[in-house]
Structure 1
Amino acid sequence: MFTVNRRTLCAIALAAGVMALPAAAQAQAQLNVNTALTRDDPLYKGLERFRDRVAERSKNQLTIRIFPGSQLGKDEDVLEQARAGANVAVVVDGGRLAVFVKEFGVLSAPYLADGFQGVRKVVTSPLFETWVAKLRTTSGHQVLSFNWWQGDRHLITNKPVTVPADLAGIRMRTPGAPVWMETIRAMGATPTPMGWGEVYPAMQQKVIDAVEAQHPATVGSKLYEVAKHVTKTSHFNLITGIVTSAAWFDKLTPELQKILREESLAAGDYASKLTEDSLVGFEETMKKNGMTIAEVDKKPFIDATQGVYEKLGYSDLRAEVLKILK
C-alpha cells in the first residue's frame, strides 16, 4: 500500500486519462513513462529514442510521453498505479521489484557483475525471463526490458573515504529496498532511505552526510555543489528496466506489444552505450566543480559486503547468476 497525496492523485488522474477516452479515441494508445532522471542524463536520451521509434513503427498508434524528475511520483507510487492497470511505466531498479519477486533483488546486490556487458547477460537470459513471468503473476507488472545501465555507483561524501571504517557514523542516502540498505550498512554507514529529489536539499541542510550514486545522477543533480569527494567503490552496478502494467499491456495488439518490447530493448542498449561513453566527461565536470575523485582498493569493500547475499537469502541465486556470467 502507499499513502495517497496530491501528487499521486494528479499522477493517477493523468495516467488514467487515456482509459477515460471514448472507444474510438483509444485506437491511439499512450504510455506515460516516469523517471527520476533529468533530461541531461544519457538514459533520458534513450527514452527519447524509445518514444520516437515506437511512434514511427506503430504509425502513431502507440505514443509515449516521458516525465523526468519523478513528475508522476516516487517509483513505488508509480508501480502501484501500474498494478491498478494505469497506462504508466517507470524506470526502476531490481531492488524495488524485490518486494514482489525476491529474485529481482539480486540485480542490485553488491559487486555482482562488472560493467554493462556483464550484467546484460543476466537480464537477457532465460533465467531472467522466468522472473519476468513470475512478476506478471505475482504483482501484475510487465517488464518491457531491463538493460538500461546507469553505471557503477560510488560514494559521495564531504570527507575522504579509503576503507569501510571511514564510514562509521555517516548517514548515507540510499533507496529503501533491503538489498541496498543492507549493503550500505555492511559498508559501515547508516542507510537513510529517501526519494532522489530530496537528496540535494538533505545534503545541503546536513540531514544526511553522504549519498551513493552513479556519475550521471551525481552531475545531473549537481551534487558537486553540496559534496566534495567521490570515492570510486563501484559497490553497485546499476542496471534498471522499464516496468509497466500487465493489464494495460495485454490490451494492446500483439504487434504493438512486440514493438514496445523490441524498441525498449534497443533503446536500453543505446542509452547504456551513451552512459559508457559519457563517464570520463562526467568526471571532468565534477573535477572542474571542485570535487576530488579517488580510486581506492575495492577489496575491503568487497569483503565487507559479501555477507549481504547470505543474510538476504541470495547465495544460491548468486551461484546461478555467476554461471551465466561465466
Structure 2
Amino acid sequence: MELKSAIFGAAALAVMAGTASAQEEIIFGISAATGSLQEQSASEFARRANEKLGDTAVVKVFDSSQLGKDKDMLQKIKLGTMHLTLPSSIMPEIAPEYAIFDLPFLVADRDHLARIDETFFKDVLVPAAEAQGYRPLAVWENGFRQITNNERPINTPADLEGLKIRTPNSSWRVAMFDEYGANPTPMAFSEVFVALQTGVIDGQENPLTNIVGGKLDEVQEYLSMSGHVYSPAYPTVGVAAFEKLDPEIQDVLTETAQEVALWAREQGESQDGALLEELKAGGMKVNTADRAAFVEASKPLYEKFATEVEGGQEMIDQVLSLADGEGS
C-alpha cells in the first residue's frame, strides 16, 4: 500500500510539474523607466491579461531596457525570442508613415488622438508595420513632449541654437531639432541620465512622465513647456512569432492592448498636472514656450513629410481633418 501511495504521489507530482511547465511565458520588454506611464501601462496590461489567461499563459514585463534598447527588442520580437515590446519614436525607422507623429503640433489633444486611433491607425499604420513583419496591437500614450536643458529657458527655436539636445533614434526627430537650430544627438533613453549628468548633452525632450520616471529633473535645471510633439507608444508583436501563439492567447493580448489604450490616455491626462507640480517643487525652473514661433519654424517638416513619404500630403490632410471630428 505504501509503495502504491509513493508511486501515485510521484505520478501526481510529475503531472503537476508538466502542467506548470506548460504555461506559456509572454515576455514584454520596454525601454521606459519604472514609474513612467509606459511602464504603468505595460504593468496594467499584464495584470488584465493575466486575469484572462488564467493558467494558460503569463505576461511578464521587463522595463528600463533590461532586455535591450528599442532597436534590439524589435529584432527580438521579429525573431521570436521575446513576444512584445513598446516602441515609440523609433517607429518611423520601421515604416515612414509613422513619422506623421513627428510633425509638430499635429495632434491637437487626446480626443483628436482617439479619432486618429479609430481610423488612421487601423487603416494606414498597422498595414505599414505588418509589411515589415511587425504588428502594433494598439496606440498607447507616451505623451506630449517638453524640452529640458541646463543652459536657459527655451521660449523660441532661437533659444535652442547650438544646444546639444538628445533625441530618440529617429531621423525625423533629428531633422526637427536641426531645423530649430539645436545640435540633435540621438541616444537611447537608458543612456540619457548619465549623459546629462556628465555634460555630454545639454538637454533632451520627453513627456513629463518620462522626465520624472527617468529622474531627469535631478540633472536638469530648465523645463520649457513646448508640447511640440505628441508621441504614441505602440504595444507591438512580431507577426510570425505572434501567429505561432495559441489563438486564444492572441485574442487576449490584442483585446487587452486595446482596452489599455483608453486607460493610458486617461492616466496621461490626469497625471500631467501633478507631474508638473512635482517637477516645480523639485526646483526646476518652468516656462511656457512660444507656440506660434515653433509652429512657424516647423513648416519645413510638413513639406519634408509631404514630399518624402508616399501619400504624405493626403495623410496630413486626413489627420488634420480629424481634429474637429470631421472624417470620422
TM-score by length of 1: 0.87
Equivalence for 2:52 = 57
Q: How does 1:140-219 map to 2 (within 5 A)?
A: 140-146=133-139, 148-158=140-150, 159-219=152-212
Compare 56-65 and 205-214 and name the one that shifted more: 56-65
Shift of 1:25: 7.3
- State the distance in 2 between where 1:255 and 1:280 align: 39
Equivalence for 2:317 = 319
Shift of 1:305: 1.1
Q: Contact 1:40–1:220 at 8 Å: present in 2 too?
A: yes
CA-to-aligned-CA distance 1:284-323 (integer Å, 9 cap, x gap):
1111111011113201001101211222333332112222
CA-to-aligned-CA distance 1:110-166 (integer Å, 9 cap, x gap):
111122221222123156334312322x221121112x1122101101212211111
Segments of structure 2 that go 5 or more residues without pairing to the other structure are 1-17
- Partner SS state of residue 322, structure 1: helix
Select the residue among 66, 69, 81 that pairs with 1:71: 66
CA-to-aligned-CA distance 1:176-228 (integer Å, 9 cap, x gap):
21221111112221110001111111111111111111101111111112111
- State the distance in 1 between where 2:245 and 2:286 align: 47
Select the residue among 107, 116, 136 that pairs with 1:113: 107
Select the residue among 212, 219, 222 that pairs with 1:226: 219
- State the distance in 2 between where 1:285 and 1:57 align: 36
Equivalence for 1:83 = 78
Select the residue among 119, 123, 132 that pairs with 1:125: 119
Compare 125-134 and 78-87 and name the one that shifted more: 125-134
- State the distance in 1 between where 2:109 and 2:199 align: 32
Select the residue among 18, 25, 31 that pairs with 1:36: 31
Q: Contact 2:116–2:322 at 8 Å: present in 1 too?
A: yes
Q: Contact 1:53–1:263 at 8 Å: present in 2 too?
A: yes
Q: Contact 2:90–2:170 at 8 Å: present in 1 too?
A: yes
- Partner SS state of residue 203, structure 1: helix
Q: Contact 2:79–2:241 at 8 Å: present in 1 too?
A: no
- State the distance in 1 between where 2:157 and 2:280 align: 24
Shift of 1:24: 7.9
- Partner SS state of residue 145, structure 1: coil
Segments of structure 1 that go 5 or more residues without pairing to the other structure are 1-22
Compare 81-90 and 167-176 and name the one that shifted more: 81-90
Equivalence for 1:18 = none
Q: Which has the higher strand share?
A: 1
Equivalence for 1:270 = 263
Highest CA radius of gyration, 1 or 2? 2
Shift of 1:26: 7.5
Shift of 1:27: 4.7
- State the distance in 2 between where 1:128 and 1:105 align: 16
- Partner SS state of residue 149, structure 1: strand
Q: 1:127 to 1:243 in 2, by over 3 A?
A: closer
2:97 paired with 1:103: yes
Q: Contact 2:167–2:184 at 8 Å: present in 1 too?
A: yes
Q: Percent identity?
A: 26
Equivalence for 1:17 = none
